[in-house]
Amino acid sequence: MILGAGGMLGTDLCKVFPDALKFTHHELDITERELVIKTIRENKPDVVINAAAYTKVDQAEDEEELACAINGYAPGYIAEGCALAGATLIHYSTDYVFDGSKPEYIESDQTNPINAYGRSKLLGEQEIAKHTDNYMIIRTSWLFGKHGRNFVDTMMRLSPQMENVKVVNDQLGRPTYTADLALKTAEIIDMEPGIYHLTNSGTCSWYDFASAIIPNVIPCTSKDYPTKAKRPRYSVLRNTKTTPMRHWKDALKEYLKEKRA
């Protein structure tokens, strides 16, 4: 069963799992506890993949209650349903559960989110663990894909409109192609329960990422480009449990090629 099937990641998951039961946000509101539990119990899936999420990082500063309802408490309801149905829960979390004080993070590192979005996602991790032991929480970062708004598309839109596009060069992380993440999810589905860090390989700044997309980008600092939500300076997720995914530059090349086709 795939929840959030209409989103950027959810759409790619539907391609990898074509026979799955699929629910978009309009078909199942994951914040409705009784309905979520009833839907899971009635359908008796072996695996529930939750790709539904509130993803507006800056807006979450003003809507933390809503972010926590979707990213925090709702995954707990899904976990309750999974426990009753004997299903494995696969859920996606974020690099923003960390504060950025270390150059990279492994799965067992201490969490300490510094913005509302990160707090909402950490709450989701905690609520899942409270209600089931049979879960895989996949932390990922900097998602881009064909079926939703993302940084790559934003750069391509801004480039012809502006002489130069300013992008921060002091926040480091790992871009992740949703098509690759969906395939990797299928690969690890039978592995041990727990937390997994899954991103494309290779570390870069947002400026480095932008430079691989458009020609007219110039670097700036986070101070030069303040945002409502504070971002971690380092949010590199190191995978210690599975084989690495391909380099983000190779994934980006494929994405751009398909967009231009």
Number of folded domains that form the chain: 1
Distance between alpha carbon 175 and the CA centroid of its chain, in Å? 11
Q: Rounded CA gap, 90 and 254, in Å?
A: 26
Contacts of 250 (CB under 8 A, 6+ apart): none
Q: Rounded CA gap, 59 and 34, in Å?
A: 28
Residues of the domain holding 83: 2-150+175-201+234-245
206 lies in a domain?
Answer: no
93 lies in a domain?
Answer: yes
193 lies in a domain?
Answer: yes
**In the prediction, which pLDDT does 230 show?**
96
Q: Rounded CA gap, 10 and 69, in Å?
A: 19
Q: What is the mean pLDDT of the chain?
A: 97
Contacts of 167 (CB under 8 A, 6+ apart): 155, 206, 207, 209, 210, 217, 218, 219, 220, 225
- Residue 235: closest CA among 121, 107, 108, 94: 94
CATH number at residue 104: 3.40.50.720
Strands 165-168 and 104-105, how do they pair? unpaired
User: Please, which residues bridge with residue 195 across strands?
Assistant: 137
Q: Pick out the chain residues at pLDDT < 70.
A: none
**In the prediction, which pLDDT does 192 show?**
97
**In the prediction, which pLDDT does 45 show?**
98
Distances (CA, A) of 257 to 49, 53, 171, 177, 261: 29, 28, 27, 13, 6
**In the prediction, which pLDDT does 93 show?**
98
pTM of whole model > 0.95?
yes
219 lies in a domain?
Answer: no
Contacts of 214 (CB under 8 A, 6+ apart): 155, 156, 158, 159, 165
17 lies in a domain?
Answer: yes
208 lies in a domain?
Answer: no
92 lies in a domain?
Answer: yes
- Residue 17: closest CA among 1, 33, 36, 34: 1
For the chain, what is the radius of gyration of the CA atoms?
18
**In the prediction, which pLDDT does 29 show?**
97
**In the prediction, which pLDDT does 259 show?**
85
Residue-wise burial string across 188-200, b where 16 or more C-beta atoms lie within 10 A, e elsewhere? beeeeeebbbbbb
**In the prediction, which pLDDT does 261 show?**
75
Contacts of 254 (CB under 8 A, 6+ apart): 177, 179
Active site residues: 117
Distance between alpha carbon 3 and the CA centroid of its chain, in Å? 14
